[in-house]
Amino acid sequence: MKKILFFFLLVLNISILSAQTIESGNHNTASYIKSDGTIEDRSHTTVGYIKNDGTVENKSHGTIGYIKSDGTIENRSHSTVGYIKKDGTVENSSHSTIGYIKDDGTVENSSHGTLGYAKGVKKEWAAVVFFFFNLD
């Protein structure tokens, strides 16, 4: 019995640690991003993927955009839709600030109002989920 309980707890801990929670401004779970880049809705249904090479895909693996190594965010046609700077500032294609991703995971709009939380999520990934691509 102890072995079964230990195994159950181990599996539970691995599943919890392998996905970071995206929360709304009132701390309700909005989605999850797994360490492999799989994006799930709050019911754990896959809605998209962020690949290691920066390709952003929908749930059918159709390419919807790209995250470039310099922080440029492009749509599927390689047109720039925005930027995520190293300090977490998120800009649109005209370099106007549209939001911020703070080091603690807080996601803010351009007026510093809290949109949500993405603790432990790469800033680029959080920007894609909150500002650039609708994965629903």
Q: What is the pLDDT along the chain (136 residues), one digit of tens a residue?
A: 444 433 443 344 444 445 899 888 889 899 999 999 999 999 999 999 999 999 999 999 999 999 999 999 999 999 999 999 999 999 999 999 999 999 999 999 999 999 999 999 999 999 998 888 776 5
Tell me the pTM.
0.80
Q: 103-117 burial, b for 16+ CB within 10 Å, e for fewer?
A: eebbbbbeeeeebbb
